[in-house]
Amino acid sequence: MQTTLKTTAAPIDLPQLDLHKRRRPHEIIIQAFLFACGIISIFVTLGIVFVLFQESLRFFGSGEVNLIEFLTGTTWQPAIGEFGILPLFLSTIITSLIGMLVALPLGLAVAIYLSEYASPRARGILKPILEVLAGIPTVVYGYFALTFMTPLLRSLFGADTVQIYNMASGGIVIGILIIPLIASMSEDALSAVPRSLREGAYGLGATKLETSLKIVVPAALSGISAAVIVGISRAVGETMVVALSVGAGPKLTFNPFESAETMTGHIVRISGGDLSYDSIDYNSIFSIALFLFVITFLLNLISRFVVQRFREVYD
Amino acid sequence: MSTFELSAQPREQTMMRETEAVAAVAAGAAGTFAIEATDVNIFYGQFRAVKDVSLQIQKNKITALIGPSGCGKSTMLRAFNRMNDLVSTARIAGEVLFHGRNLYAREVDPVEVRRKIGMVFQKPNPFPKSIYENVLWGAKINGFKGKADDLVEQSLRQAALWDEVKDKLKQSGLSLSGGQQQRLCIARTIATRPEIILMDEPCSALDPIATLKIEDLMRELVEKYTIIIVTHNMQQAARVSDYTAFFNMEQDRAGYLVEYDDTKKIFTNPKDQRTEDYVTGRFG
């Protein structure tokens, strides 16, 4: 039938076939624009690194301090020429550690609840609240630490033990601040675990808890680890909370109820004062910032490594 | 166009009642059943997926559920070990009797049900753990206390996988081929010592050779277990099963049981015209 149709039909004039390359200027423009956007973010990063190194070089080149003293000194007192970063570093570690102790269990619990247990309705209510929590300005968290957490700690442990400015209060509030980050990143990782794995577990007679903790969480471990490391970076870099609630003077102490000053807190306080350009104090805060940058950069590298190393391909 | 009209034969409307079809099988079978569904209706929200199905499954036999896509056969299969409970909108009416007890009675724990009635899924879904752990996991959560090595070897042997994996038990279950993964899932199910194994299109993601291996395995397993398999592949149902239940659906898309009988009868001499049309490939 088809063949008879073809022969009887009159030949139709087709427009001449043209396979020549065509110019599509809008494609080129878009491509150039997107490329520029990508390049800018790289240049901004490089620019920051450049400035940090440049100013830090001035600091170390001043002859007043060398790298060894900087990394191992236990006193940070620019006024008398003591630039040992340890007190600042230790206080950063303590506040971050307290923060992670709060954020990790709570964030993970929230994530498991949202991904495995919550009804669609409960999730619909809880997730936006969590996002609101993530959107609160950190300065608010800072005053929350100062005017709520500190009095709470003082009433629990006594006003003699807990100083008005202390690391514990700042650390706990940093933890609260990071919960939404850990929870939402971990929840993404948990939700990405295919349903078929859960069904496999249920089909063997596993309970919901067994399925969640022994199948889903291990399968999502790489994503959860990444969440934790991003959380640590966030805790280490958090500034406003510690500037407001932890204290205003570097002090080498392991006691979380004492006041101290973190690296970020110190940078804020010093740069808030009137420092002359290229003074040793001014340059010193760039060296702290560089140190901070190296820490977060290393954490990012670790997180990349962890994600690749422990990635469980479940498809 | 004319050929289309020719193919549209007038269909005999011998609407045999589902219950009669079931009675025919039940009459021929003495003794108790492995599991027995009575007047089962399954809903997803407002939608009725399965309509008035009664089905008695023979012990130590392979029963195949066949039918066109969306006719509720997978849903029916999942009703046998309460997997439908995992879908929040799913609701069931009717009874499923196992050892004389209704699996949907208020006091029955679905977790315990699934420990007795295992399941193998359409897509192989080994856990992202080692082969060894994959086999052991289900048994361990079921409180297995014996020698783990023995259980793993025994289960893998029963699943006809031992020789292929005995030197790499520590490797990930996901490193295996699709057919091996599916046999690993079967081994994992066997390790929990179920009475019934439900298989939801276990070969649909496998190549023909892997498929034949699974089918051979099913014939071996059926000496110890009762197997219910959902399959799209009619040759597979004909090759492997002892009994076949044919499901169909009408405009309302609610699946119902058309005919249930010896596999031979279903494929050579079905009572219902719709069964004949389906098994001879006229639709579905």
Q: Which residues contact B235 (CB under 8 A, 6 or more apart)?
A: none
| A70 domain residue, yes or no | no
Q: What residues of chain A lie within 8 A of the CB of B172, using their CB? A: 312
Domain assignment of residue A315, yes or no: no
DSSP label at residue A14: P
The distance of Cα B261 from the centroid of its chain, to the nearest Å, equals: 16
Answer whether residue A63 shows pLDDT above 90: no
Print the SS3 string covering B102-120.
Answer: ECCCCCCCHHHHHHHEEEE
Residues B121, B142: Cα–Cα separation, whole Å? 20
CA distances from A113 to A120, A202, A231, B90 (A): 11, 17, 19, 22
Residue A242 lies in a domain: yes
Tokens of A166: 């202390």
pLDDT band at A22 (very low <50, low <70, confident <90, very high): confident
Say how far apart CA A74 and CA A311 lie, in whole Å: 40
Is the pLDDT higher at B237 or at B5?
Answer: B237
A213 in B contact zone (CB under 8 Å): no
Q: Does A309 touch chain B (CB under 8 A)?
A: no
Query: pLDDT-derived band of residue A221, with 50, 70 and 90 as boundaries?
Result: confident
- A198 CB neighbours in chain B (<8 A) are 86
- Is residue B155 within 8 Å of residue B188, measured between CB atoms? yes
Tell me if A48 is assigned to some domain. Answer: no
B226-230/B196-200 β-pairing: parallel
Give tens-digit pLDDT for B59-96. Answer: 999 999 999 988 999 999 999 999 999 888 999 999 99
Taking the Cβ of residue A77 and every Cβ of chain B, the question of whether any pair is shorter than 8 Å is answered with no
Query: Smallest Cβ distance to A196: which of B88, B114, B121?
Result: B121
Of B123, B125, B141, the CB nearest to A210: B141
Query: Which residue type is seen at A162?
Result: V
Quick one: DSSP state of residue B130? Answer: B
Probe site for chain A from B112, B125, B172, B204 (most A CB atoms < 10 A): B125
**pLDDT value of position A309:** 75
Scanning the structure block, which residue is given the tokens 């080692």?
A: B130
Give A137-184 pLDDT, tens digit per residue: 999 999 999 999 999 999 999 888 899 999 999 999 999 999 999 999
CB contact under 8 A, B127 and A206: no
* Residue of A204, A212, A217 to mutate, testing the B interface (most B Cβ within 10 Å of its Cβ): A204
Q: Chain B closest CA to A131's CA: distance in Å?
A: 26
Residues B16 and B23: their CA atoms lie apart, in Å, by: 12
For chains A and B, CB pairs below 8 A equal: 74
3-state DSSP call for residue A155?
helix
Residue A277 Cα distances to A77, A80, A271, A286, A287, angstroms: 19, 19, 11, 12, 15
8 Å CB contact between B218 and B193: no
CA A166 – CA B81 distance, rounded (Å)? 57
**Chain A: nearest CA to B85, how far in angstroms?**
10
> What's CA A262's distance to the chain center, in Å?
17
Rounded distance between C-alpha atoms, residue B104 and residue B114, angstroms:
13
- Sort out which chain A residues have CB atoms less than 8 A from B115's CB and list them: 204-205
Assigned domain for A35 exists:
no
Does the ipTM surpass 0.85? no
d(C-alpha A282, C-alpha A271), whole Å: 7
The mean pLDDT value for A82-89 works out to: 90
- In angstroms, the CA B54 to CA B22 distance is 7
Report yes or no: A241 and A262 within 8 Å, Cβ to Cβ: no
Q: Mean pLDDT, to the nearest integer, of B167-195?
A: 93
CA distance A42 to chain B (A): 37
Global confidence as pTM: 0.80
Size (chain A), residues: 315
Domain count, chain A: 1
Specify if A16 maps to a domain. Answer: no
Backbone angles phi, psi at A61, to 5 degrees: -80, -5
Is residue A66, in this structure, part of any structural domain at all?
Answer: no
pLDDT of residue A60: 87
- Determine which helix (DSSP H) or strand (DSSP E) holds B261, and give its type and residue range: strand B255-262
Residues spanned by the domain of A178: 91-309
Q: What is the residue type of B279?
A: V
Q: Do B137 and A314 touch (CB under 8 A)?
A: no
Helices (H), B29-174: 73-79, 110-116, 131-141, 148-158, 162-165
H helical segments located in A158-312: 167-191, 195-203, 208-210, 217-219, 221-237, 240-245, 263-272, 280-309
Gap from A311 CA to chain B (nearest CA, Å) = 10
Question: Residue B172 and residue B178: Cα distance in Å, rounded?
Answer: 13
Joined together, the tokens standing for residue B224 give 């110890």
Shortest Cα distance, chain B CAs vs residue A301, angstroms: 25
| Domain at A289, CATH number | 1.10.3720.10
Confidence band for B3, pLDDT divided at 50, 70 and 90: very low
Residue type, A95: T
Q: Is residue A229 part of a domain?
A: yes
Query: Which pLDDT value is given to residue A3?
Result: 47
